[in-house]
Chain A
Amino acid sequence: MGKEYFFDKPKNVKRLLLGFYIFLFVILIAEFFIHKHIFFRWERYPFFYAMFGFVAFVGLIIAAKYILRPVIKRREDYYD
C-alpha cells in the first residue's frame, strides 16, 4: 500500500459531501430573499430550477442507460 491521498480517507469524502449538502440548503433558502426575473409562468414556482436540474439529470441518465445504450452498444472491435 503506497502513500495515502486525500480522497483515500472516507472521512474526507464525507466532509466534502456534508459541505455540499449545506450549500444546497443555502441556495434553496436564498431563493426567498431575491427578486426573481421571470420569463415564463412556471419559473414562479418555488424551487423550479432545483427540481428541473434534479429531474432532468435523472431522466437523462435513465434514458441513456436503458434506451440509448441497448440500441447503439456493440463490441469494441465492431468496425475492425
Chain B
Amino acid sequence: MINTVPPAAIFIIGALFIPLFKGKLKSVYLLLLPIVGFINLINIPEGSHWAIGFLDYQLVFGQVDRLSLFFGYIYHLISFIAILYSIHVKDDFHHMASIFYAGAAIGVVFAGDLISLFIFWEIMALAATYLVWARKTKESSGAGMRYLLVHLFGGLCLLAGIVIHVLGTGSVEFGYLGLNGLGTLLIFIGFGINCAWPGLHGWLTDAYPQTTATGAVFMWTFTTKTAVYVLARAYPGTEILIWIGAIMTVFPIFFAVVENDLRRVLSYSLINQLGYMVCGIGIGTHLSLNGTVSHVFCHILYKALLVMSMGAVLHRTGKIKCTELGGLYKSMPLTTIFCIVGAASISAFPLFSGFISKSMVVEASATGGMVVIWLMLLFASVGVLEHAGIKVPFHAFFSHDSGIRTKEAPLHMLIAMGITAFLCIFVGVLPGPLYSLLPYPVNFEPYTASHVVTTLQLLSFGALAYIFLLLSGIFPAEMRATNLDVDWFYRKPVAAFLWFCNVPLTVFRNGIQTFSSRAIKAISKFATDPLIVPETIFKGIQLGVLKALRGTPDETTPKIAALEFEINRLIKMKETGRYYGTETPRRPVGLAVLVSFALIFLYLIVYMIV
C-alpha cells in the first residue's frame, strides 16, 4: 500500500506549479496530473479519511465509497481527455483555472462535511468564471459576470442552508439530508441552481456557449454533474425531483429546435440530459440510481465528444452558428465521424453508450408505474434525437455547403476525440465493466430483443419524420436571431434599472445639486457676517420711527440722511460681498464668541425639549 493524499490535493496543488514548466515538459506535466491522481485514487481504501478538526467541527477530505469513487474515476478520465484536448493552449492561467476547476469538483465529490464541500463549491464557481472570461470577447465578459453573480447567489443559498442545518442538528456531516426544514430546503435550492433546474437554468445557456473551445469540455462536465452527485447523495428518493427531472428533459428540446448557435444547442441538450439523471435520483430505487450514475458516466463522455467536435470546428473556422456552417465533412472528415459517434451515443442508439444507461432510468419510471413521467421521458428521447442526434452533426458537417474549406482538427484534439469515441462505443457494446462499478448490484439487461427493436423503431421513425419535414419544407429554417430564455428576467430588468439610474435619476440628481449649491451659496453669504441682517433691520426700524415722529426738520433731517446712507451701505455690502474693505472696521472677536455661545445655548434648549 502506498501513501495516498486527498484526491483533490493533486489537482489543486499541482495547478500551482504549471507556470514553472515550459514547452513539451509542460504538456507532459499537465497530462501526468490526472494519471498520478488516478493512481492515488485507486489506492485509497473505502472509508472516511483525512479528518481535520476545524473550530468545533470535523472536516473530512476523503469520504470514499462506491458512489464517490465512481464520480472520482470519471472525473479523472475526463480531465485527462480535456487536458489532452487543450494541450495547445499557451495561457497558463487557462490551464490553472481548468485544473483548479477539476480539482474543486473532485473535492466536492470526496467531501465528507458541508464546510469543505462549500469551499470547493465556491472554488468551482470562480475557476469556471475564468474559463468564460478567457474567451476575451465582449459577450463572454458579460456572460462571465452574470455566471459569477448567479453562482454566488446559489452559493449564498447553500451557505445559509448549511448554517441553519448545522445550528439545528449540530453536525456538519455530509450524507443523506432529505427535505425536512428550511436549512435543507436552502441547500436543495443551492444544489438546484448548479443543476440548472427549470427556471434556474438561465446561467447555463447564457455562459456555456461563450466559453473557450477547450474550457468548454471542463465546463460541460463538472458543475452540473457535481450537482447531480450531491443530489444523489443528499436527496435520493425526493419525490419532487422526479417532476423537476422530467420537465428538464422536455422543455429544452423545444428551445434547441429553433436555436442557431450550435454550442447553445448543446447547452439545452445538457439540461435535457441532466433531466434524466435528476429524475432517476427522484425515483430513488436501486435501478434508477444506478441509471443516474451510469448515465453520468456515459453522458460526460458523449457530451464531451460533441463539445470537442464543435470546439474543433470553432477552433478551425471561428464560426459556430448553423447559418454560417455546413459541408465541413469535406475538410474535417475525422471530426465528422467523432461527432456522429457522439450524436449516436446521446440519442441512445443500440451499441452506443447512451443506450445502456438512459434505458435504466426510463425503465425505472415504467417499473414504478409513472405513466406521465414515462411518456415525458420517451418524448424527450425523440427530442434528443432531433437536436443532438441530427441537428448538431447535420448543420455543421453536411446541410448546405458553406464553402468553408479548412484543415482537419489538430492531432492532439483528434486523439482526445478518438479516445472518447472509442470509450462511447466500448461502453455501449460491453456495458459489463461499467455496471460492475455502480453503487448498487445491477440486475438489468439492456440488450433484449424487445428493447433493441422498440428503441430502433422510436429513433428511426423520428429520423424519418425529420427527412419528411426537411423535404416538405416544414422544418424551421436556420435564422440568425437571439432567442429569449429565463436570463431575460434578470438581463432586461437590470438594463432597465441601469437606464432608470442613468437618465431620470441623473436629471433628478442634477436638479438637487443645482438647488443645494445655490442654497449653500446663499447661506454662506449670510453666514459670512450674520449680524449685518439684524443691524440693517434695526437701522430700518430706527429710520421708520424717526420719519414717523419727524419733529423740527433741522434736527432730524441729517440723522435720517445718515441712516439712509448707512442702510444703503449695508445692503450694498451684502450684495457685493465685500465686507472688509478699508472703510469697514472688523467686528470684534468677542462678538463672534458671544454669538457662538448663543447658538450653543439655543441648541441645548432644542435638545432638551426634543
Tell me whether chain B's interface is mostly helix, strand or loop, or mixed.
Answer: helix
Contacting pair A58 B469 (CB below 8 A): yes
Contacts of B13 in A (CB 8 A): none
* Closest A residue by C-beta to B480: A76
Contacting pair A65 B257 (CB below 8 A): yes
Interface string of B430-466 (1 = CB under 8 A from A): 0000000000000000001111011111111111111
Contacting pair B257 A61 (CB below 8 A): yes
Q: A61-B386, A65-B474, A72-B485 are in contact. Are A53 and B465 (CB under 8 A)?
A: yes
- Least CB distance from A79 to B in Å reads 6
B476 interfacial contact with A, CB 8 Å: yes
Chain B interface, number of residues (Cβ within 8 angstroms): 53
Contacts of B386 in A (CB 8 A): 57, 60-61
Report the separation of the CA atoms of residues A69 and B45 in the bound assembly, to the nearest whole angstrom: 53
Contacts of B257 in A (CB 8 A): 60-61, 64-65, 68
The 8 Å CB contact of A64, one of B448, B459, B476, B485, is B476
Contacting pair B465 A54 (CB below 8 A): yes
B367 interfacial contact with A, CB 8 Å: yes
Contacts of A34 in B (CB 8 A): 449-450, 453
In residues 20-76 of chain A, which contact B (Cβ within 8 Å)?
Answer: 20, 23-24, 27-28, 30-31, 34-37, 39-40, 43, 47-58, 60-65, 68-69, 71-76
Contacting pair A51 B461 (CB below 8 A): yes
Contacts of A53 in B (CB 8 A): 382, 457-462, 465
The 8 Å CB contact of B254, one of A39, A58, A68, is A68
Contacting pair A60 B383 (CB below 8 A): yes
Contacts of A6 in B (CB 8 A): 329
* Closest A residue by C-beta to B405: A2
Contacting pair A72 B457 (CB below 8 A): no
Report the separation of the CA atoms of residues A23 and B467 in the bound assembly, to the nearest whole angstrom: 15
* Closest B residue by C-beta to A75: B482
Contacts of A64 in B (CB 8 A): 254-255, 257-258, 476
- Least CB distance from A34 to B in Å reads 4
Contacting pair A52 B458 (CB below 8 A): yes
Tell me whether chain A's interface is mostly helix, strand or loop, or mixed.
Answer: helix
Contacting pair A74 B481 (CB below 8 A): yes
In residues 493-529 of chain B, which contact A (Cβ within 8 Å)?
Answer: none
- Least CB distance from A23 to B in Å reads 7
The 8 Å CB contact of B461, one of A3, A50, A79, is A50
- Least CB distance from A77 to B in Å reads 7
Contacts of B366 in A (CB 8 A): 39-40
Q: A61-B257, A64-B476 are in contact. Are A24 and B460 (CB under 8 A)?
A: yes
Report the separation of the CA atoms of residues A31 and B367 in the bound assembly, to the nearest whole angstrom: 22
Contacts of B491 in A (CB 8 A): 79
* Closest A residue by C-beta to B397: A7
Report the separation of the CA atoms of residues A64 and B491 in the bound assembly, to the nearest whole angstrom: 24
Report the separation of the CA atoms of residues A73 and B481 in the bound assembly, to the nearest whole angstrom: 6
The 8 Å CB contact of B374, one of A2, A36, A39, A65, is A39
Contacting pair A56 B379 (CB below 8 A): yes
* Closest B residue by C-beta to A71: B484
Contacting pair A77 B482 (CB below 8 A): yes
B304 interfacial contact with A, CB 8 Å: no
B301 interfacial contact with A, CB 8 Å: no
Q: A5-B330, A27-B456, A40-B371 are in contact. Are A56 and B382 (CB under 8 A)?
A: yes
Contacts of A76 in B (CB 8 A): 480-482
B3 interfacial contact with A, CB 8 Å: no
Contacts of B461 in A (CB 8 A): 24, 49-51, 53-54, 57
Contacting pair A74 B483 (CB below 8 A): yes
Contacting pair A60 B457 (CB below 8 A): no
Report the separation of the CA atoms of residues A71 and B454 in the bound assembly, to the nearest whole angstrom: 35
Contacts of A5 in B (CB 8 A): 329-330
Contacting pair A60 B253 (CB below 8 A): yes
Report the separation of the CA atoms of residues A17 and B467 in the bound assembly, to the nearest whole angstrom: 9
Contacting pair B254 A63 (CB below 8 A): yes
Contacts of B463 in A (CB 8 A): 20
Contacting pair A35 B476 (CB below 8 A): no
Interface string of B359-370 (1 = CB under 8 A from A): 000010011010
* Closest B residue by C-beta to A4: B330
Q: A64-B258, A68-B255, A72-B258 are in contact. Are A27 and B480 (CB under 8 A)?
A: no
Report the separation of the CA atoms of residues A35 and B455 in the bound assembly, to the nearest whole angstrom: 14
B546 interfacial contact with A, CB 8 Å: no
Interface string of B234-266 (1 = CB under 8 A from A): 000000000000000000011101100000000
- Least CB distance from A30 to B in Å reads 5
In residues 106-128 of chain B, which contact A (Cβ within 8 Å)?
Answer: none
The 8 Å CB contact of B483, one of A17, A24, A62, A73, is A73
* Closest A residue by C-beta to B258: A69
Report the separation of the CA atoms of residues A5 and B469 in the bound assembly, to the nearest whole angstrom: 25
Report the separation of the CA atoms of residues A53 and B464 in the bound assembly, to the nearest whole angstrom: 9
Contacting pair A74 B484 (CB below 8 A): yes
- Least CB distance from B319 to A in Å reads 14
Report the separation of the CA atoms of residues A7 and B460 in the bound assembly, to the nearest whole angstrom: 21
Question: Can you offer 29 A-B residue contacts whose CB atoms are under 8 A?
Answer: A5-B329, A20-B467, A27-B453, A27-B457, A35-B450, A36-B454, A39-B374, A40-B366, A49-B455, A51-B461, A52-B378, A52-B458, A53-B465, A54-B464, A55-B465, A56-B382, A57-B382, A61-B386, A61-B465, A62-B474, A64-B254, A65-B258, A65-B475, A68-B258, A72-B483, A73-B481, A74-B482, A75-B481, A76-B482
Q: Which residues of B contact A (CB under 8 A)?
A: 253-255, 257-258, 329-330, 363, 366-367, 369, 371, 374, 378-379, 382-383, 385-386, 398, 405, 448-451, 453-469, 474-476, 479-485, 491
Q: Which 4 A-B pairs have the closest CB atoms?
A: A64-B257, A57-B465, A53-B461, A39-B366
Contacts A27-B460, A52-B378, A62-B474 supplied; 6 other A-B pairs, CB < 8 Å: A30-B453, A49-B454, A53-B460, A53-B461, A64-B254, A69-B476
